[in-house]
Structure 1
Amino acid sequence: MSGRFYDPDGSRFGLPTFPFRMAPDGYATRRQLRAAGLRPGGQPIAAQLLWHSRRYQRPGRPPVRYAYLYRIDRALPVRPMTARRAAALGRAMAARRTCPHCGRDAGYVIPTSLGMCVACHEAADQRAA
């Protein structure tokens, strides 16, 4: 067991902290709750997992990843998808696919780094060159 991230009383990290794959029963991440048909339901973060990751190293920051844990007994069922919620979600996704320059549905989500569809961006690059 990694003693570096084991702090069940929260004295060192402020929250009860456990190493990766060492969370006690009764706790789950958001993804685990969703897979079980549950949601946190407004409850505060109950604990956290910490682990060292060489894959996610960033310059000037320690390569430590985290995941927050919620209590399963306080979780609520996921709200059902209604027709109005599905329509609103469809409109929001359509807005993300619509190019603000040409007004066409690009068929994919417009990259925020470009701010326009790829065709408009390439045309703008050709005009600038």
Structure 2
Amino acid sequence: MSGRRYPWDLRPVPWSDQPEFTRGMFEGVVLLSWGIAPRDKLATRRQLRAMGLRPGGQDPVAVLYFRNRAACKKVFANLYLISEAKPVRPMTAARRAALDKALAARRTCRTCGRDVGYYMPTSTRECWECENSEDTEQGAGVAA
């Protein structure tokens, strides 16, 4: 027996005075499918950030779902009210210094201790020279 997992449902929603068609509820939040969310009233975190806004502590009012056919998955994204969003906090000197320090740590080799100018792999945190020199030393030790 095959039926729709999320059938159409007419229900009241927080962003409109009138009931609207949705796909039911998902974990206690209104579920919307691709293309039916009002773009002028709801946005994802990334869309809010592109507008210079942040959720500002509000809970998501809806969940958007769509299928990624290439990955054979369903993708869920939280939607927030644009009217309730707050502006992004400005970058202060202290926040900028902390960010620069964190990014410098990602560029510093764990073995030789120098800033190599690129972000190293998180698995080794070593520059290409240190990583390759250890491989050749290990290979020479095994052969001997």
Q: TM-score, normalised by structure 2?
A: 0.74
Which among 41, 60, 66 is matched to residue 76 of structure 2?
Answer: 66
Distance between the aligned counterparts of 1:33 and 1:47, measured in 2? 15
Which among 78, 93, 108 is matched to residue 83 of structure 1?
Answer: 93
Which one-letter code corresponds to 1:40 in the other structure?
A: P
Distance between the aligned counterparts of 1:21 and 1:119, measured in 2? 50
Unmatched tracts of structure 1, length 5 or more: 58-62
Q: What is the percentage of aligned positions where both structures have the same residue? A: 49
Distance between the aligned counterparts of 2:26 and 2:44, measured in 1? 21
CA contact (8 A) 2:23 2:32 kept: no
Greater length-normalized contact order (CA 8 Å, ≥ 6 residues apart): 1
* RMSD over aligned Cα atoms: 2.0
Q: TM-score, normalised by structure 1?
A: 0.82
Shift of 1:81: 1.0
Give the number of the structure whose residues are more often strand, by fraction: 2
* Cα 1:88–1:12 shift into 2, 3 Å: closer
Shift of 1:40: 0.7
User: Pairwise mapping of residues 36-115 of structure 1 onto structure 2 (< 5 A)?
Assistant: 36-57=51-72, 63-115=73-125
Which among 128, 131, 134 is matched to residue 118 of structure 1?
Answer: 128
Shift of 1:34: 0.9
Distance between the aligned counterparts of 2:49 and 2:26, measured in 1? 30
Distance between the aligned counterparts of 1:74 and 1:81, measured in 2? 22
Distance between the aligned counterparts of 2:42 and 2:35, measured in 1? 11
Which one-letter code corresponds to 2:25 in the other structure?
A: S
Distance between the aligned counterparts of 2:56 and 2:26, measured in 1? 27
Shift of 1:12: 4.8
